[in-house]
Structure 1
Amino acid sequence: MPSKFAKVQKQVSKKKGGALALHENSRDALRLRSAVARDDRVARLGAVREKANDVYLNRILFLQGEIPDPLRPLTDAEVHDAIARYLRREDDSLATLKAERRPGRPKSTRQTLLEQQQDQEQKEYESGLWIPDMQNEASLIKLRNWKGEWIALSPLTYVRVGKSGSIKESAFPPKGAA
């Protein structure tokens, strides 16, 4: 996708007098500054959006590995077991970080981030963890063929699985808590 700056720069350079008419407070200089600011803002917002989506992409990637080899829908107990494995996936690295830390020293940044992530995921599981529908065979086929792209997740069906055992239908993309 061409940037706004490239378009504006092309228009300004084609004007009669081009660089000679361009001074600090000219209209063209203002257009160029605005275009650069817009491109920066678009790039920054895109990066924030991708970072927010990474949580869901990693979750779905983990659950893609939990699909049984002879393809079949999972039972409620199997879904909860897969979620429990997902929630405990960082326990080994967290234990290693705790063991490496000397007594009396503060927690490392990585350890703090892992603990916060685990707390957040646990709270989401209590209210309803957003996952692909693992009890729908058509959804499992699509999930197995998924290549890891955010845009390719829309054909899947999703549910929110609560710790209490409740399973409610959900939509893509996820919107807040259950």
Structure 2
Amino acid sequence: MPSNRLSKVQKHITKKKGKNVALHENSRDTRRLQSAAQRDDKLNRLSAVREKQNRPYVLRIKSFQSYTMEHTSALSIPDIQAMIEDFLGRDDEELANLKAQRRAGRPPSTRETLLKQNQAMEQGEYASGFWVPDLENADNLQKLKDWNGQWSGLATLQFARISKDGFKRESSFPPKGLS
């Protein structure tokens, strides 16, 4: 989401001064341009950080969207649990390959360590309640199929937390703790 503040300031100064007029180093207009550029940089940095934080959830929802493309009716809790377990096992092959490539007595690679940590975190989340779209609701299932892949489009979906024991709790968007 790039900001237009810098371009607005540039346009205003160009309109006031003309196209080929050089600005003084410490002039008021130069300071306005610098502060607008800094503001745009800050907004772009914050946007990138927010997008990086949301990426795992977007990828999770995209995978559940692909899992449910062939389903037309609402799913049961055991079906949803099977999808969750399939999702949790998505990195098993890569983890096995990394383990096989490692020589005996060598420490695990950084990628292997990160995958193991991610799997442990997701398994812990699954034990207490895994955050997924509510697939027991047929309307929500259709909304998931029509979802465009953007974070902002997730606000229309309903979410639930499905535990390993088969319990379902309503959840909120965006995910916060165990809500």
Bin of the TM-score, shorter chain as denominator length: 0.7 to 0.9
Partner in structure 1 of residue 109 of structure 2: 108
- Listed one character per residue, the Cα deviations across residues 84-115 of structure 1 (whole Å, up to 9, x for unaligned) are 11111111111101111122333222222212
- Identity over aligned residues, as a percent? 46
| Cα RMSD for the two superposed structures | 2.2
Partner in structure 2 of residue 130 of structure 1: 131
Between 13-22 and 97-106, report the one with greater CA deviation: 13-22
Partner in structure 2 of residue 76 of structure 1: 77
Three-state SS of the structure 1 residue aligned to 2:83 is helix
Cα 1:2–1:48 change in 2 (3 A) is: closer
Three-state SS of the structure 1 residue aligned to 2:67 is coil
* TM-score, reference length from structure 2: 0.86
Cα 1:70–1:131 change in 2 (3 A) is: closer
Three-state SS of the structure 2 residue aligned to 1:160 is strand
Partner in structure 2 of residue 173 of structure 1: 174
Cα 1:103–1:112 change in 2 (3 A) is: same
Letter aligned with residue 101 of structure 1: R
8 Å contact kept, 2:129–2:178: yes
- Extract unaligned runs of 5+ from structure 1: none
* TM-score, reference length from structure 1: 0.87
Partner in structure 1 of residue 146 of structure 2: 145
Partner in structure 2 of residue 94 of structure 1: 95
1:22 aligned onto 2:30: no
Residues of 2 paired with 1:80 and 1:22: CA distance? 66
Between 77-86 and 157-166, report the one with greater CA deviation: 157-166
Residues of 1 paired with 2:132 and 2:74: CA distance? 14
Residues of 1 paired with 2:50 and 2:71: CA distance? 36
